[in-house]
Amino acid sequence: MSDHIYKVVTVVGSSTKSVEDAIHGAVAKANESIRNMNWFKVVETRGHIEDGSVAHFQVTLDIGFTLD
């Protein structure tokens, strides 16, 4: 079968270092329990501010994976 059917889950990654680190952390954690991940889409980027400085980068991702 050449067609793919995907399920999509939404996860939020957080990092004190960067948006990219938040993405990598979210994908790595999702990989612990989700098989057949194929793609991700950044849905939202936001952050947490403490004392006038960026404390955390927060990235919402949709992760697509194929069903067995």
List the 37-50 sheet strands across, edge first: 6-15, 53-66, 37-50
CA 4 to chain centre: 21
pTM: 0.88
Please list the pLDDT of the chain residue by residue as tens digits (68 residues): 567 789 999 999 999 999 999 999 999 999 999 999 999 999 999 999 999 999 999 999 999 999 88
33 is in which domain, residue-wise? 6-66
What is the C-alpha separation between 15 and 34, in angstroms, rounded?
Answer: 21
pLDDT given at position 4 = 79
In a domain, 19, yes or no: yes
pLDDT given at position 5 = 87
In a domain, 1, yes or no: no
pLDDT given at position 44 = 98
Q: Provide the domain count of the chain.
A: 1
CATH number at residue 15: 3.30.1660.10
- Tabulate helix, strand, coil % of the chain (nearest 5): 20, 55, 25
Under 8 Å CB-to-CB from 21, ≥6 apart: which residues?
A: 15, 57
